[in-house]
Amino acid sequence: MPCLARHGRPWRRAPATRHIGALPLRNITPGDHPLSGLRGLADHSWHQRGRCHGLDPATADRLFFPGPRNRAAIARAKQMCSTCPVRQLCLTTALDTDTKEGIWGGLTEAERRPFHEKAEHRLDYARIHAVLNGRDIRLSAAERNTVARHAASRNWSPRHLARLLRVNIEWASDLLREARQDITYRDLCWAVHQQAEEDGIDLTDLPNVEVPPQRHTHELVEELREAA
């Protein structure tokens, strides 16, 4: 039931919509999305809950950044990490920031290497959804490209995408251009396969013919012009 504002006129809450330039962000950054459980890039509050919190800086450096042959220091650091309540957050931070030196989350540099290699190819839709809802979350290259394709399909401007990803406009423009190219090539491929299916042609039986780049480019331009 609407409450009465001054002068007795009904007052209603405005819809949760924000604007970036002339672009409405309804249902993108309304501020009422559920918590994702993901740590924002600027959130360092977990440090205070770590078992290493309060250590003398020199002691912490010797303990968590030991030489590769200092097995005693590595063992002491691992023992402290084993009962740390924020061990997983510590490891996630190292992966998110691509920090490869030292012991994080109870793992040495060598032990974390496989996780670093996988992190750049990660495709976590919870992270993508959080970024689309305005959260400042670290994204892998695959996740960032997914956001860019979403932006391209909705015809977002580079400025809109740049603010969402916290990157400069030039980088956002490059991401959008590449995403639009991917979408165009995908649609052309689907069109070719659909036409081949209607004509009863099995594309897997066709010989692999090398197409000259000039001819391929000309035909692609013609197809794009006809599609427009």
DSSP class of 19: E
Q: Measured between alpha carbons, how far is 60 from 140 in angstroms, rounded to an integer?
A: 30
> 133 and 85, same structural domain?
no
Could you tell me the residue range of the domain that residue 105 belongs to?
A: 45-119
| pLDDT tens sequence across 105-125 | 999 999 999 998 888 788 888
Q: What is the pTM of this model?
A: 0.54
Q: Mean pLDDT in each 10-residue stretch from start to end of the chain (228 residues)?
A: 41 42 40 54 83 91 90 93 93 87 93 88 88 86 90 91 90 91 78 72 62 56 61
**Final residue of a structural domain among 78, 94, 119:** 119
- Distant-in-sequence, close-in-space partners of 172: CB < 8 Å, separation ≥ 6: 158, 159, 161, 162, 165
Structural domain contains residue 104: yes
- Looking at the structure, tell me whether residues 53 and 107 fall in a common domain: yes
From 71, 94, 119, give the residue that closes a domain: 119
User: What number of residues does the chain have?
Assistant: 228
